[in-house]
Amino acid sequence: MGVIAISIPLSTGQFDPNNFKPVCSASDGLYRALQGATQGIIGPDNYIEYGPLIAGGLLRVRLELCVVESFFNEAVLPFVRQNGLSWVLPLHETVETFIAGSIFALATTFILVGSTKIVTVLVTYSDLLVGAPCRLLGGFFFDRAQEKPVTLDIGAGFFKTRVFGPPVPLSEEKLWRKGIELDKPSVWEVDWDNVSPSKYPIILTSGSIKAVGESSKFVRKVTEAVDLFVGRYLVLIASGYLGVKFLHFKIFPDFPF
């Protein structure tokens, strides 16, 4: 009877898996946006024909994002508001702080390891479709307005070669062969004294477009770094955290006092 009584609160109401309906407003908004973009790209007729396949794929993307959104909005944040953060690494480990920290570490690991991949894919495709064109077009007109030559270098160090544009000075090419890169001015520096005022609007407009592309690139790199950290190190960190919690709770319960 005791086991049944304990299990009832966790099996009814909002904790019943059959009745659990997480609130995921951000994930729903993204799902609708992707749905509309897909319909606009392939056309209404093709969308109707391939609707089940498209909807199935988009719903699974929405589901993965909803897992993260719901976990933090409906579980983590309310728990932190109610109990604070004293359970993370308390001076005196109790049953309550040990259970809270262990469950949080395990749940966070399982959820983030699976969901960050979806976020990385979405950000990568967004950068490919929006960021890269902004960088190419914005950068092209930004440099042309300053009358900079069009150049294309491939490789790095000893293998660096200019395939398009004016030839590289011999002194700089020798440094390339030695693997030494010259310090070059920032790509955002503009010599306003040598730029015609009539080209100011082009520089400002193309610079803004280029900034959008560079911002997209920065977000993509940060997302990839987070995904790499989660996939490679989060499990190790969570395991170490659980080990510390266990030692503090069972072996050294009164440490440091």
Give residue-wise pLDDT tens across range 121-137. Answer: 989 999 999 999 999 99
What is the C-alpha to C-alpha distance for residues 17 and 231, in angstroms, rounded to an integer? 28
- Beta-bridged to residue 234, according to DSSP, are none
Helix segments in the chain, DSSP class H: 2-7, 25-42, 44-49, 51-71, 77-83, 95-126, 132-145, 170-177, 200-229, 235-246
The three-state secondary structure class of 234 is helix
**What pLDDT, in 10s, does the model give residues 211-252?**
999 999 999 999 999 999 988 899 899 999 999 999 888 887
Average pLDDT over residues 109-114: 85
What is the C-alpha to C-alpha distance for residues 172 and 180, in angstroms, rounded to an integer? 9
CA dihedral 238, 244, 245, 251 (to 10 degrees): 150
Residues 6+ apart with CB under 8 A from 71: 107, 108, 111
Closest CA to 111 of 74, 78, 70: 70
* pLDDT interval class at 190 (50, 70, 90): confident
DSSP 157: G
The answer on pLDDT for 172 being more than 80 is no
pLDDT at 183: 53
pTM confidence score: 0.70
Q: Are 52 and 84 in contact (CB under 8 A)?
A: no
Q: How many CB atoms lie within 10 A of CB 73?
A: 15
Residues 6+ apart with CB under 8 A from 210: 134, 135, 138, 139, 142
**What pLDDT, in 10s, does the model give residues 4-18?**
444 445 556 666 666
Phi, psi (deg, nearest 5) at residue 229: -65, -45
pLDDT at 1: 41
Mean pLDDT of the chain: 80
For the ranges 89-93, 101-105, 124-128, 178-182, the lowest mean pLDDT is seen at 178-182
* pLDDT interval class at 79 (50, 70, 90): confident
pLDDT at 5: 45
